[in-house]
Chain A
Amino acid sequence: MSKQYLTTHTVDNAHVTDIFSIAATPRAILSAGGSSTLRIHDTNDPTFPISQSISGAHELGCHHICASRDGLVAASAGFDGVVKVWTVTKETGEWNQHAEIKLPGKAGEIWAIALSENGRYLAGTTYDGRINVWDVGDSSTPKIQEYETGSAGASSFGMCVDLSPDGKLTASGHQNGAVYVFNNDTGRMLYSLSGLAKPVRTVAFSPGSTRLAAAGDASVIALYDMKHGEHVGNLTGHASWITSLDWSNTGEYLLSGAMDGKAKVWSIDRAACVATHSETEKALWSVKWLPKTNRSEMFCTAGANRSLTLYREATGI
């Protein structure tokens, strides 16, 4: 059985240049790109209008944005190495800056970021391959963990990071193809996972924290079991570098986006692709499921064509 998703809406020219990253909350899509502006689109309105623009958020542009699962905290990382933490006012849906993080010295710039379920913790990778975890609930944002992935000068650039929903694990993907999983309670590396020999551009924990998906230039999605750190499967079918992964709310499906503009939905049980869509031939930089509310399943894609494209699961087949 195949799944079908319909393009339900496209926000054309959501940004003036590439959209590098999107985040989804129960009521909004946050998007970041090459300009200094962050944009928020209201997902409760079928036309997905802009509900807020934050000008000058990141002077050199923004490459990563993420949100907590509860939708109350967001974080963005700019090309200038600065990370900003944002909180939303529930009544108005307005986002305001809560904190700022910038690591001192060279090579320590923060690259990829991820927030914990309630937005209390932020994980970030660095140019020189480290992974830091900060307590952003505290406005002084103290660093509570710093993981090294190799000796000085030997670590590989940290390309992506994710925090497990239960908060216990941090996973990172690196330019040399390495995937690491750290135990946040003990502060130690739990697993060093192999299987992808090329840059790993995206890692994602499943909603139950039992599985980790990783992908990148190998064009294959590797699945790992988090109980024993075993490589339990591969999802093949993409023809280009995979840039983004996201699990559906139930963990039944995995969404992937690639540099050839194709987005795929995979059934985890069947280890098979059940849907492929490409509104564009240009690179997709970020794909995200929208948190399930009282509507059918939806996901959003964004990338080099500067638009936000929304897909809705077709029903009544």
Chain B
Amino acid sequence: MSSTDIVEVGEARATEGNRLVVIAVIEDILSKVVDDISHDRQPSIPYRCRPRGARPGRPSTSVTSRTAVRFPGNSQDESLAFCSPRPRGSLLGEDCVVDRDATHQTKSQAVVDRVVDDLAYTLGFGRMDLNIVAAGKGLISGPIMIQLRRESGVLSASSGSNGVLVPLPSDVEKLDLGAARWLLVIEKEAVYRRLSAVQYWRNSAAGPGILVTGKGFPDLVTRGFLHLVQSVRPQLPIYCLTDFDPDGVGIMRCYKHGSRSLDHETHVVVPRLRWLGFKSSDLSHHLTALDESRRPSVTSPMSVRNRTRAAKLLATMDEESHDWEELECQRELQVMMFLGVKAEIQGVDGIGDVGDWLDAKLGQA
């Protein structure tokens, strides 16, 4: 194993710097709260709501646009936000607070997510800078070894038939990407498990690679990890495989550009991600098979919700973009709507194996 494949990750230093800045900002805020209380003034904490998916370039019209949180608040949400002590505690301690811990206090994951994300947005940092991270669900398999900071352990993603859980990017001390020549992010867990079980990452005709799944819309841990891989190994091609449907396009764009409501999370995007498919040209290939009996039923009709979602996605895209993939995204959504069909990656199995299709695709890319 060549030592040049091992990458020392210097992320912790940058993270530590951000952490100290966040601590200083929060302590300033708390100091002002104490001062307000001692002088009988109403204490308040600055609080900015995130944009809710408005189109770039257009002003967001937030229904409840708050600039400060007061106590007692006008609503339960406001009081709850004021009393949330978790960010500072998590920053001062060694342990990372996982969202699920916070959930026990409030019983609602959605409330936790909203409050934490709004706080991160207010302070101008990402969640991970606050040392609050949603529980990760992504899986990774391939010839990759990850040395962790805290546990002084090594994760081997080639062990087991399903790979391992994607680690926190901030926990990664060393990355050994081995002989990997590509990385493939797969939307569907079922497809990932099938490819992982047959060790496609080892046997691919395109050479050894890495498989990752975010299990649908990806969490920040999975996205942050992919961002890390891209930054330490910029030449490694990273591809994305999704269903041919509006959610598939949305998931691919989430990896590549992030989501509008989480724009303040900057260390979680993979701008060089390339969309491998499933696309309409893959669909056309099946549809023109001469023998009807050998033409698998890979498609299903788009529902009204699908169509509405596709139109909304189109509306968020920049029509004047000169980014080839951005224009391709628009085109694919339009063709999807025009045909009124969607297709699942698993449909490819009907003609043999998704592995064969991937071999061809990775070979072309």
Contacts and interface: CB of A to CB of B under 8 A. Distances in A.
Nearest to B315: A60
Given A106-B308, A109-B307, A34 B330 contact: yes
Interface string B329-346: 011001101101100000
Contact of A60 (B290, B302, B314, B335): B314
Top 9 nearest A-B pairs (CB, nearest first) are: A260-B288, A107-B304, A60-B314, A240-B288, A34-B334, A127-B304, A175-B301, A17-B331, A61-B334
A80 interface: yes
B284 interface: yes
Contact of B287 (A17, A157, A259): A259
B204 to A, nearest CB: 28
Contact of B319 (A59, A109, A159, A285): A59
A246 interface: no
B338 to A, nearest CB: 6
Contact of B311 (A18, A81, A199, A240): A81
13 contacts: A17-B330, A17-B331, A18-B334, A18-B338, A20-B338, A63-B337, A80-B315, A128-B304, A157-B302, A239-B288, A239-B290, A240-B288, A259-B287
A81 B334 CA distance: 13
A240 B287 contact: yes
Nearest to B337: A79
A122 to B, nearest CB: 20
A12 B304 CA distance: 35
B351 interface: no
Interface residues of A, number: 32
Residue from B304, B314, B327 with most neighbouring chain A CB atoms (10 Å): B304
Interface string A59-84: 11101000000000000000111000
Contact of A157 (B311, B327, B340): B340
A91 B340 CA distance: 40
Interface in B242-267: none
Nearest to A261: B288
Q: Looking at chain B, what size class is its interface with the partner chain?
A: 20 to 34
Given A35-B319, A106-B308, A127-B304, A18 B331 contact: yes
A283 interface: yes
Interface string B297-312: 0000110100110010
Contacts of B337: 63, 79
Given A34-B330, A61-B330, A241-B287, 6 more contacts: A18-B331, A18-B338, A20-B338, A34-B334, A60-B319, A240-B288
Interface string A131-159: 00000000000000000000000000101
B317 to A, nearest CB: 9
B340 A159 contact: yes
A36 interface: yes
Interface in B181-198: none
A18 B308 contact: no
A260 B286 CA distance: 11
B307 A199 contact: no
Contacts of B287: 240-241, 259-260
Contacts of A61: 314, 330, 334
Contact of B301 (A18, A63, A157, A241): A157
Contacts of A63: 334, 337-338
Contacts of B311: 60, 79-81, 109
B325 to A, nearest CB: 13
A179 to B, nearest CB: 16
Given A59-B319, A241-B287, A106 B304 contact: yes
Residue among B284, B315, B327, B338 with the most chain A CB within 10 A? Answer: B338
Contacts of A18: 331, 334-335, 338
Interface in A177-195: none
